């Protein structure tokens, strides 16, 4: 239990308590998470593993405020996000969460630069400031030479770097990555993992990463397993 609840003594940034998530598909009732508890401390790099269909993405969505638990509490940075109204929750996501997806999910009609700038449109920043901030984020992922390229002109690894730049451009509290290397070859995947590790180590970003790949989870500071709706610490940790 202590492994699941996180490093002792540290005040948890993410605090999930007694969460149930039930999906209804027609008459079928799917209980994906039940009574799930998790704490993640500030500055952790947590890898979330588990078999396909075990609910890893579902849990990540709950923590990112993209979906709501059927029961239980989700507290992040001291705020009960499961209780926020839709509009407040959207605002909260904009300020506190950066998301990285397996298939990058960049907007094909926007250049790398403008994809990264997109979340900043919701801030009061003026155009020049937005551009500068996007340029900084792109340089942090090593893509300063590709700012005007469109997603279809970039390799998978490069697209994922743009995805990471977009996730960090608002300087969020929490970086959530759902199989960020799942669609990449080993070399590009390693580069992405190195980047996440650096963000965690050098910039103190708290990261939760879903992965199937033991090679990837090895880069994390802690690994948890999700199975049958419950979490357990890595057996070999």
Q: Two tokens at 119?
A: 């979340």
Residue 181, contacted partner among Mg ion, ligand ATP, another protein, none, CB below 5-8 A by kind: none
- Under the binding rule (CB under 5 A), the answer on residue 58 touching Mg ion is no
Residue placing its CB nearer to Mg ion in the complex, 57 or 113:
57
Q: State in angstroms the smallest separation of the CB of 134 from ligand ATP.
A: 30
Q: State in angstroms the smallest separation of the CB of 129 from ligand ATP.
A: 36
Phi, psi of 92 (to 5 degrees): -60, -45
SS3 92: helix
Residue placing its CB nearer to another protein in the complex, 89 or 233:
89
Helix axes 186-203, 156-168, angle to 10 degrees: 20
- Under the binding rule (CB under 6 A), the answer on residue 8 touching ligand ATP is no
Q: State in angstroms the smallest separation of the CB of 4 from ligand ATP.
A: 17
The number of residues that bind Mg ion (CB under 5 A) is 1
Cα distance between residue 86 and residue 88, in whole Å: 6
Phi, psi of 141 (to 5 degrees): -95, 10
Binding mask 105-134 for ligand ATP (x = CB under 6 A): ------------------------------
Q: State in angstroms the smallest separation of the CB of 233 from another protein.
A: 27
- Under the binding rule (CB under 6 A), the answer on residue 52 touching ligand ATP is yes
Cα distance between residue 233 and residue 170, in whole Å: 31
Residue 110, contacted partner among another protein, ligand ATP, Mg ion, none, CB below 5-8 A by kind: another protein
- Under the binding rule (CB under 6 A), the answer on residue 25 touching ligand ATP is yes
Are 188 and 155 in contact by the 8 Å Cβ rule? The answer is yes
Residue placing its CB nearer to Mg ion in the complex, 99 or 141:
99
Cα distance between residue 181 and residue 29, in whole Å: 31
Residue 86, contacted partner among ligand ATP, Mg ion, another protein, none, CB below 5-8 A by kind: another protein
Q: Report the chain's C-alpha Rg in angstroms.
A: 18
CA 125 to chain centroid, in Å, comes to 24
Nearest Cα neighbor of 51 from 232, 223, 235, 227 is: 227
Q: Which residues bind ligand ATP (CB under 6 A)?
A: 23, 25, 30, 32, 50, 52-58
């Amino acid at each position: 239990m202590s492994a699941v609840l996180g490093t002792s003594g540290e005040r948890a940034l993410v605090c999930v308590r007694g969460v149930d998530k039930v999906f209804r598909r027609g008459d079928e009732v799917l209980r994906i998470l039940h009574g799930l508890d998790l704490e993640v401390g500030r500055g952790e790099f947590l890898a979330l593993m588990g078999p396909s269909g075990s609910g890893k993405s579902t849990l990540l969505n709950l923590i990112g405020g993209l979906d709501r638990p059927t029961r239980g509490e989700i507290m992040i940075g001291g705020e009960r996000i499961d209780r926020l109204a839709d509009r407040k929750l959207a605002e909260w996501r904009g300020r506190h969460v950066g998301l990285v997806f397996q298939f990058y999910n960049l907007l094909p009609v926007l250049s790398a630069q403008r994809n990264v700038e997109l979340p900043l449109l919701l801030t009061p920043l003026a155009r020049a400031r937005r551009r500068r901030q996007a340029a900084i984020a792109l340089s942090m992922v090593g893509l300063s030479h590709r700012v005007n390229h469109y997603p279809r002109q970039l390799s998978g690894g490069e697209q994922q770097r743009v995805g990471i730049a977009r996730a960090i451009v608002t300087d969020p509290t929490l970086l959530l990555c759902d199989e960020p290397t799942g669609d990449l070859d080993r070399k590009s995947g390693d580069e992405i993992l190195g980047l996440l590790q650096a963000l965690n180590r050098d910039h103190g970003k708290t990261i939760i990463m879903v992965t199937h790949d033991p090679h990837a989870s090895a880069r994390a500071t802690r690994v948890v397993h999700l199975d049958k709706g419950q979490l357990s610490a890595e057996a070999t940790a």
